[in-house]
């Protein structure tokens, strides 16, 4: 399996289209951001024109959008809550961003982080990640968020949770 198939949001064309769509929430489709922000679940996101506009753009860039609609809806809905793209170093996960980089403590507390890791449904992870985005002052690496939200799975012990834990506790050991 190639890197692109395993991590589609690391593909340059897909990243470019995702960024263009996300930036367009402010410039071209001003009503899309508020509409998506009102969606309480990924299923609600699926019913918006904004979701389908993003899905078409990403399909044109090479993302397989024929399945995994709930996963993509999670990504699209969460990105509407991000105001600033804050790129992290390659190889890091959203866990590093939740841990922060200051001595003042992690933006996401250890307790909140542990509860995030215990979530067992896509609707719960969607709501919890909306809270995380707020705690990060709406400044998130959109590619990491997209990849982690897309591949987070309630059914399996997946790599997303493991990567979050390694990066979070590696950067914020005082939060354990």
> Distance between CA atoms of 114 and 108, rounded to whole angstroms?
10
- Global pTM reads 0.89
> Distance between CA atoms of 63 and 18, rounded to whole angstroms?
10
The confidence score (pLDDT) of residue 82 equals: 97
Per-residue pLDDT tens digits for 23-57: 998 777 778 999 999 999 999 999 999 999 999 99
> Distance between CA atoms of 176 and 1, rounded to whole angstroms?
35
What are the φ/ψ torsions at residue 168 (nearest 5 degrees)? -65, -55
Give the chain's domains with CATH numbers.
3-175 (1.10.520.40)
| Residue found by looking up tokens 């390694």 in the block | 166
| Residue found by looking up tokens 């997303």 in the block | 160
């Amino acid at each position: 399996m190639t890197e692109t198939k395993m991590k589609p949001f690391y593909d340059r064309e897909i990243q470019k289209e995702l960024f263009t769509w996300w930036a367009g929430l402010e410039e071209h489709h001003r009503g899309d951001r508020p509409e998506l922000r009102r969606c309480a679940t990924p299923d609600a996101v699926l019913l918006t024109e904004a979701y389908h506009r993003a899905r078409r753009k990403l399909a044109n860039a090479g993302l397989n959008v024929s399945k995994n609609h709930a996963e993509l809806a999670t990504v699209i809905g969460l990105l509407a809550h991000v105001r600033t793209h804050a790129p992290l170093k390659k190889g890091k996960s959203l866990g590093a961003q939740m841990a922060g980089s200051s001595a003042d403590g992690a933006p996401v507390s250890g307790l909140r982080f542990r509860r995030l890791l215990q979530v067992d449904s896509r609707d719960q992870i969607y709501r919890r990640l909306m809270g995380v985005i707020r705690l990060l002052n709406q400044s998130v690496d959109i590619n990491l968020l997209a990849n982690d939200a897309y591949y987070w799975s309630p059914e399996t012990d997946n790599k997303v949770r493991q990567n979050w834990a390694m990066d979070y506790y590696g950067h914020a050991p005082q939060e354990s």
